[in-house]
Amino acid sequence: MNNAQLINQDSGDYEYYSPIEIVDAAREVMGGIDLDPASSKIANKTVGATRIYTLEAQIEQVGVWELPALIAMEGGLDYAWYGDVWMNHPFGRSETACKEGCVKEICRKRGYHTLIKIPRNKEWIQHAVNEHKEKRSRQLTCITYASTSEDWFFPLTEYPQCFLRPRTNYYRPDGTKKKGVSKGSVVTYMGNNKDLFRKTFEGFGWFR
């Protein structure tokens, strides 16, 4: 599998950060970012959310190898999302929490274990849509791959979308850009500022 396939499939790496110009545009539309539910301390240097949910916080909260708690947790999906939300969730397949003595092949390849359950795209998107429909999130802007043939993508089509052009290259934690992405990305907006969303993002791609 080549590098272009790895980022679009499941390399075991999910720390890919959004370009600052996309985040800034989302901030302008929403008037600020109250919450990033799938973040890290490094990622929030760009996002600047008032509150973040992080993998590190989950590990600190439950400790290492406290298996019943670890298996039950799904990070940001365990909490309500209030206010104006930005989301760039970990793309890829779901993965169960590792048990002590884990011999999973993916862990061997990447060199570390995951101590909490990693949700699927469908779980992240469904939670985002539910939080907005239940009026806990006032506005929500998210960036995903434009996977128009996938079931998880379908709920997003209910909302205004900007399909980004050219293809979006995301950033690694060290600040370098991960090039060679073989799929396009799309920004979806949930909220009342639809006209402002279109005006602000008009230079980034095309709309539906």
Cβ(81)–Cβ(140) below 8 Å: yes
Percent of the chain residues past pLDDT 70, beyond the cut: 78
Q: Which phi and psi (to 5°) does residue 30 adopt?
A: -85, -15
Q: Which phi and psi (to 5°) does residue 43 adopt?
A: -60, -35
Average pLDDT in the chain:
80
User: In angstroms, rounded to a whole number, what is the distance separating the alpha carbons of residues 164 and 142?
Assistant: 12
pLDDT tens digits, 104-131: 887 777 677 777 677 788 999 999 999 9
Pairing of strands 51-54, 35-39: parallel
Residue 93, CB-side half-sphere exposure with 13 Å CA sphere: 8
The domain spans of the chain are: 3-207
Q: List the CATH code of the domain at 3-207.
A: 3.40.50
Question: What is the pLDDT confidence band of residue 198, given thresholds at 50, 70 and 90?
Answer: very high
Question: What is the pLDDT confidence band of residue 7, given thresholds at 50, 70 and 90?
Answer: very low
Region 125-142: mean pLDDT is 96
